[in-house]
Chains A and B, each alone.
Chain A
Amino acid sequence: MIPWFNRIPAQRSLLSALVPAVFLLALSCFLSLLYGAGSIGPFEALQVLFNQGSSEAYFVVTELRLPRTLVGLFVGLSLGVAGALMQAVARNPLAEPGLLGVSAGSTFAVALALVMGASAATLTVSIAQIGALVGCFCVITAARMQGQNRDPIRLVLAGAALSSLLVALTSLLLLYDQRAADEIRFWVTGSVAGRGLDQLTAVLPSMFIAVMGTVYVARPLSSLALGEKVAIGLGHNPGRIRLIVIVCVALLVGAAVAVAGPVAFVGLVVPFAARALIGPDIRRTLWLCLPIGPMVVINADTLSRLIAQPAEMPLGVLTAIVGAPVLLAIVRARRLPTL
């Protein structure tokens, strides 16, 4: 019997990785409820969880920390799955919604809506999703225009350029409108603080649709990994698979951006970790992304509360600091892995 850690990832059984991951996720959620920037320490929070403790502690845990943890859960889930889908369809381990300008498209759409007179409170999720869809199409078109001998890194550069263009256009809009600039300033770094459950319920329907789409597309997508001709030979339609994936990614990223703002690098780190654990098959990777995505976001959020006490660090800053070294690690590998 070979020990678990000595087997090559593709031989491990899905459950042997999934069960510990889910357990760790539960632990992360628990810690996120216990620790915070305020005066309510872990012991008092623990009392609340056993239906005791002061009313102040009760309020902090149930009204402030719990919604935040739930929002982190859904944002992490969306971004992790979106990253895995995007990497599979671009066949590029560096494809990440934040790096490729999808989040920037979303942000631009939101800024546009704010300037046109919407308010951050009443903003509909669909606006962010439409922006994400446009960004997605731009990037996938760029990836396909490169043709056969494409270089994974060129796509990232094109995405960075698209991002910088969209960020510049967003700043342009915000210069026009001081009110919109004030509303958006703390939103653009990405954070799950102060988000309510009503915002979460607004994005749930579209997330449900995206998850259904993902379930439908997982099998065809894994055959697409073997090449277009193989996928066609197995009876799938590559163009349609891509379209469905793009729509799913746009729905997921748009939902996450609408709730938490652009949180960079989660879509890069999560599939990277999942692949390292159980191999490159997209069906297995997607399963593992479900617990790992929220785990990354929730832990980053907990850390962001603890590092800069009594103030808070924006979540997007922390994920960038964690994620950029992973980007470097992928690029530094002697041979760039292709998907």
Chain B
Amino acid sequence: MITMKTHKVEETSSAASLEGHSALTFGAQNSLLIEHRAVRRNILLLLMLAAVSIAFLGMGSLIMSPWHVLEALFGQGSELNQFIIKSLRMERLLAAIFTGAAFSLAGCLMQTLARNRLATPGIIGIDNAAMAFAVSSIVSTGVSMAPSGMALVGAATATALAFGLSGGSGTRGYRFIVAGIGIGAIAGSITQLMLSQVNVDTANAAYPWTVGSLNARATDMVYLLGAGLLLSLIACLALSRRFALLPFSDQVITGLGEQIKKIRVAALSISVLLTGLAVAVAGPVGLVALVGPELARAMSGYRGIPLIGSALAGAFIMVLADLVGRTLLSPIELPVGIVTSIVGAPYLIWILVRRSPRN
């Protein structure tokens, strides 16, 4: 039996530092501290996402006004509009929202875990490995395993390799990242190899997906990703207090009575799960995982880890990028991965060459 009630925190001694917070309690034992400002910013992000989603649904070969889009969404308006929105564009919108949120949330967790904002799944090669495994399941005729499952296996393999190869240094520092770059390079070249061995039609069909595209998505994978995302978000909320400890040193975490290893394994598993499922839908669109959490951090100014904010920001970026890719050079459609690379890579370079690096 869960009773939910919100109340102002009433500790007089620490009232100053906790001002602007509410506690959300579940039963007697569990509670969640909610910062009002973070909630306001997340609502703002949600509104931005809604606005760009309506634009996304309205743009295409048949351009609709936002009013018509809303009408069609609520079951009004012409049959044609309803069909276009609900049957054609909605699935793509959902795919964009789910993949963006998944990549960005995974990136945020990985960054927190490694204490390094450059340690996103795309940079440390998890995307590429998931892609290589998924491509192997597409091109191999004998075994037709689901690409989602294979992508998960690939993501887990790459993570294990990156951890194993970075040796004693753990996830700290750049050694982990360069180990990941090496793994990513191997996985990428294996993908190239597999694509060069199959017939031209299969290679052409798989090509847009390997640069990251929402065009070749499979409906089942999108729903699978949605389910995974929902579970991960619930898990993240349930564990958010423990994840908030990750930036502290090992001694502090142990001193507060938490088991570091369990927290790390949980964060890493969620990150790998989300990345694998998202790659199976959209291919490696890894730079979303770098930019999404940054946007969330910049927006919220929140002291903790902006998990929900990252998911919302990632979804916003993905929808926007796909909207730009579809409309900018229409009728040619730019894969969303190219749009995010062109925007994300200069940002990454800028992070790297600034004189005073902040990890």
Contact = CB atoms under 8 A, between A and B. Distances in A.
Q: Which of A164, A265, A320 has the most CB of B within 10 A?
A: A164
B97 interface: no
A164 B345 contact: yes
Contact of B174 (A153, A313, A314): A153
Contact of B353 (A158, A160, A186): A158
Nearest to A325: B182
A161 B189 contact: no
Nearest to A154: B352
A54 interface: no
B341 A168 contact: yes
B182 A328 contact: yes
Interface string B335-359: 1011001100110110011010100
Given A317-B189, A332-B167, A161 B349 contact: yes
B181 A142 contact: no
A168 B192 contact: no
B264 interface: no
A314 B192 contact: yes
Given A145-B353, A167-B341, A189 B196 contact: yes
A331 B349 contact: no
B25 to A, nearest CB: 44
A321 interface: yes
Interface string B137-180: 00000000000000000000000000001110000001101110
Contacts of B197: 308, 311
Interface in A136-166: 142, 145-147, 151, 153-154, 156-158, 160-162, 164-165
A329 to B, nearest CB: 9
A52 interface: no
Nearest to A168: B341
A280 to B, nearest CB: 20
A225 interface: no
Interface in B171-213: 174-175, 177-179, 181-183, 185-186, 188-190, 192-193, 196-197, 211
Interface in B231-273: none
Interface stretch (A171-179, A208-216, A250-258): A171-179
Contacts of A245: none
A165 B175 contact: no
Contact of B334 (A175, A264, A314, A331): A175
B116 to A, nearest CB: 11
A264 B342 contact: no
Contact of A327 (B166, B182, B189, B196): B182
Contact of B332 (A161, A165, A176, A189): A176
Contact of B352 (A161, A169, A265): A161
B348 A317 contact: no
Interface in A303-339: 308, 311, 313-314, 316-317, 320-321, 323-325, 327-328, 331-332
B179 A162 contact: no
Nearest to A176: B332
Of B166, B186, B287, most A-chain CB atoms within 10 Å = B186
A320 B186 contact: yes
A151 B353 CA distance: 11
A328 B346 CA distance: 26
B355 A331 contact: no
A94 interface: yes
Contacts of B332: 175-176
Contact of A162 (B175, B337, B349): B349
Nearest to B179: A328
A314 B341 CA distance: 25
Contacts of B349: 142, 158, 161-162, 165
Contact of B175 (A158, A320, A332): A332
B318 interface: no
Interface in A92-115: 94, 99
A153 B185 contact: no
Contacts of B348: 157-158, 161
B126 interface: no
Contact of B183 (A151, A162, A175, A324): A324
B123 interface: yes
A316 B174 contact: no
A177 to B, nearest CB: 10
A157 B177 contact: yes
A165 B344 CA distance: 8
B211 A171 contact: yes
A105 B159 CA distance: 30
B165 A169 contact: no
B288 interface: no
B305 interface: no
Contact of B193 (A146, A175, A313, A327): A313
Interface of B: 118, 123, 165-167, 174-175, 177-179, 181-183, 185-186, 188-190, 192-193, 196-197, 211, 287, 329, 332, 334-335, 337-338, 341-342, 345-346, 348-349, 352-353, 355, 357
25 contacts: A145-B355, A146-B353, A151-B174, A153-B175, A156-B178, A157-B118, A157-B123, A157-B174, A158-B349, A162-B345, A162-B349, A165-B345, A168-B338, A172-B342, A175-B338, A176-B332, A189-B189, A264-B185, A265-B185, A311-B197, A316-B192, A320-B189, A321-B189, A324-B185, A332-B165
Given A158-B352, A320-B189, 8 more contacts: A146-B353, A154-B174, A154-B352, A169-B342, A176-B329, A314-B192, A328-B182, A331-B178
Shortest 9 CB-CB distances between A and B: which pairs?
Answer: A168-B341, A165-B345, A320-B189, A153-B174, A161-B348, A324-B182, A158-B352, A317-B189, A331-B178
